[in-house]
Structure 1
Amino acid sequence: MAKLKLGAIEDDKPIKVAHELPAIVHRDLAAYAEILAQETGQPVQDPAKLIAPMLARFMAADRSFRKARRARQRATGGEG
């Protein structure tokens, strides 16, 4: 079985964002949801729910983003 980059999806208070996806991206997202459900044993009712954790994982893995964000936080003295 494939080792996917995402694990089980945690519930969190959502912020609604509307965005159109190309059909091929939606098909891939649906396929990813099916494989993830097989791997984790937890069905994914709505493949769109994978978008947020995928984006979070992408940003967490982006070293340049993390470095720039830390520098920005130090410069502003805040969390943002």
Structure 2
Amino acid sequence: MKLAKLPDRTPVKMNVVFTPSLAQRLREYAAFYAETYGNKEEVAELIPFMLEAFLDGDADFRRSRRSAATDIAPP
């Protein structure tokens, strides 16, 4: 079969506590998103994508993950 087994897609719910100033900035970001795309999204809907973009954009983190993967890879 050419298609590999699909990865686990079960959502994982996490509770996070923000400082009041960060919560306000996130609300402002959601408003900016709505202005930009004409589509209102709740902050809770945006956060997973924001975090993913942040992690994908962190070159040091990507390098660290690649290094860890090669350290674990079987010979």
TM-score range, shorter chain: 0.7 to 0.9
Q: Considering only aligned residues, what root-mean-square deviation do their CA atoms show, in Å?
A: 1.8
CA distance in 2, matches of 1:50, 1:14: 15
Aligned pair partner of 2:64 in 54, 61, 68: 68
Give the unaligned 5+ runs of structure 2: 1-8
Question: Superposed, which structure 2 residues align to 1:1-80 within 5 Å?
Answer: 14-44=11-41, 46-77=42-73
Percent identity of paired positions between Structure 1 and Structure 2: 27
Give the unaligned 5+ runs of structure 1: 1-11
Going from structure 1 to structure 2, the CA distance change for 1:14 and 1:41 (only over 3 Å counts) comes to farther
TM-score by length of 2: 0.76
* Structure 1 consecutive aligned stretches of length 4 or more whose deviation exceeds 3 Å: none
Q: Relative contact order (alpha carbons < 8 A, sep ≥ 6): 1 or 2 greater?
A: 1
TM-score by length of 1: 0.72
Corresponding pairs, count? 66
